[in-house]
Amino acid sequence: MLKVIFKIGWRNLVKNKGYSFINIGGLAIGMAVALLISLRYMMNCLLISIMKIIRRLLKSIELETRGGETQANTAHVPGLGTLLKKLNTVLILKM
């Protein structure tokens, strides 16, 4: 049964080459555009979550300048260690 269906489909593809090309091409382009849109959406969601973590981290660090030297003071900041582990990067702050 499945073999007969594929045989009929193949026969129609060969018989109507232009129409088949337009249909298959449109389907391929539509699927590619849908994939690109979903990838863009996923990257935006990832970027937003990373930016939230960075904002929380930057709010919790107090910068002090003493004698022309800038130091980051992270004392008395609860949960900074777990936040840094989540971020898994090192931020170098310069002012």
89 conformational bin, left if phi > 0, alpha if psi -120 to 50, beta if neither:
beta
Q: Identify the pLDDT of residue 92.
A: 47
Q: Identify the pLDDT of residue 46.
A: 86
Q: Which of 31, 91, 20 is nearest to 61 (CA)?
A: 91
The model carries a pTM of: 0.52
pLDDT along the chain (95 residues), means of 10: 92 90 94 96 88 73 71 64 62 43
Main-chain dihedrals φ then ψ at residue 89, nearest 5 degrees = -140, 165
Q: Identify the pLDDT of residue 62.
A: 65
Q: Identify the pLDDT of residue 60.
A: 61
Q: Identify the pLDDT of residue 52.
A: 82
| Residue in the block written with tokens 């018989």 | 15
Q: Identify the pLDDT of residue 93.
A: 44
Q: Identify the pLDDT of residue 53.
A: 79
64 strand-pairing partners? 71
Q: Which of 60, 45, 53 is nearest to 87 (CA)?
A: 53
Q: Identify the pLDDT of residue 66.
A: 73
Q: How far apart are CA 34 and CA 74, in angstroms?
A: 45
